[in-house]
Structure 1
Amino acid sequence: MTPQRLGFVAWAALVLLQPLWYFWLAPPANGKPLHALALTLPPLLLPLFALARPRRALLWIGIIALFYFCHGVVAAWAVPATRVPALLEAACCVALIGAIGWDTRQRKRAG
């Protein structure tokens, strides 16, 4: 698997995790999963505008993923009921950022 493909797979997993988290795995305590989804999903969809240039899209995704990594760590620490989806979110972010680093390292060696 290429680093770019791994990055896009991790991004897709992160996007799919959001509705699963808020509708099934650990719905919000206020009972309004659509509000939570409205806050978490749109930033992950912004890189769709850059898909014509895959490396640029991955850069955008990587920057956005840093915030989701922080969210996952804080949610896992603070709310025990969300520990599983929160750690999945953090793991997807680590895989995504690792794939970006791997891709960058490969390009430096090739160039």
Structure 2
Amino acid sequence: MNGRAQDAILALLLVALAAVYALWFAQDRHWLATQLVFTLPPLLLALGVWLRRGKAAFWAGVLALFWFSHGVMSAWSHPETAGWAWAELLLALAVIGVGSGPGLRRRFAKR
């Protein structure tokens, strides 16, 4: 897969994660706070990846570790929102995998 296709997939995953957060927290008492903390970062990173900013994919992978942990915690402690938590968890794993692909390929490429 070429770099542009990988960037498009990563941007799509980040937008999907932002959509999950926007829908999950749509009726939250602290709506603005949840949108700023959860929805805005993946959207900004998706824009950065789409514009091919150098560190956007790296930071998406780093923040995806937080999103993964949040998904595990939410799925475990709030069974009523487990569906949203599982969606977050799986999307975070996908972001980590796709975002880490170029670095792993460079690391293990034949010299």
> What's the TM-score, normalizing by structure 2?
0.75
**Count of residue pairs the alignment pairs up:** 106
Point out which structure has higher relative CO (alpha carbons under 8 A, 6+ apart).
1
Aligned-pair distance for 1:40?
1.5
Q: Quick check: 1:68–1:90 contact (8 Å CA) kept in 2?
A: yes
**Gaps spanning 5+ residues in structure 1: where?**
none
The residue matched to 2:55 in structure 1 has which SS?
A: helix
Q: Quick check: 2:7–2:49 contact (8 Å CA) kept in 1?
A: no
Q: Quick check: 1:51–1:57 contact (8 Å CA) kept in 2?
A: no
Q: Quick check: 2:11–2:50 contact (8 Å CA) kept in 1?
A: no
The residue matched to 1:90 in structure 2 has which SS?
A: helix
Measure the CA separation in 2 of the matches of 1:49 and 1:95: 18
RMSD of the TM alignment (CA)? 2.5
Aligned-pair distance for 1:64?
1.3
Aligned-pair distance for 1:39?
2.5
Name the structure 2 match of 1:17. Answer: 20
Aligned-pair distance for 1:93?
0.6
- Give the direction of change, closer, same or farther, for the CA distance of 1:55–1:6 in structure 2 (3 Å limit): farther
Name the structure 1 match of 2:79. Answer: 80
Name the structure 2 match of 1:100. Answer: 99
Percent pairwise identity: 29
- Give the direction of change, closer, same or farther, for the CA distance of 1:84–1:53 in structure 2 (3 Å limit): same
Q: Deviations over 1:43-68 (max 9, x none)?
A: 33443457543442111111111111
Deviates further, 53-62 or 91-100: 53-62
Matches within 5 A, 1:14-93: 14-23=17-26, 27-28=27-28, 31-47=29-45, 48=47, 52-93=51-92
Q: Quick check: 2:61–2:100 contact (8 Å CA) kept in 1?
A: no
Measure the CA separation in 2 of the matches of 1:90 and 1:60: 17
